[in-house]
Amino acid sequence: MNTDRIERLLEKPCYIIDVLPVTVEREGRGQFFQVEEYLLAGDRYRGIRDRFVLVLLKLMCYYHVSVLLEEWIDRPSPRLVEQAVCEIICPSPSPEHDGPEAGRDMGEGESDQEREDDISHTLNVLFPEEDMVLVLERDSLNMSVYNPPKRARDIMEKIAWSEGLFWRESLHSDREAME
Helix (H, G, I), strand (E, B) or coil at 97: coil
Q: Could you tell me if 62 and 155 are in contact, meaning their C-beta atoms sit under 8 angstroms apart?
A: yes
**pLDDT band, residue 175 (cuts 50/70/90):** very low
SS (H, E, C) 3-45: HHHHHHHCCCCEEEEECCCCCCCCCCCCCHHHHHHHHHCCCCH
Q: Which of 14, 143, 136, 128 is nearest to 72 (CA)?
A: 128
pLDDT of residue 162: 97
Contact 133, 6 (CB under 8 A): yes
Which tens digit of pLDDT belongs to each residue from 122-171? 999 999 999 999 999 987 889 999 999 999 999 999 999 999 999 999 97
| Separation between Cα atoms, residue 152 and residue 155, nearest integer Å | 5
Is residue 173 over pLDDT 60? no
**Under 8 Å between Cβ of 122 and 88:** yes
Q: Is the pLDDT of residue 42 over 50?
A: yes
With a pLDDT cut of 90, the percent of the chain lying above it is: 51
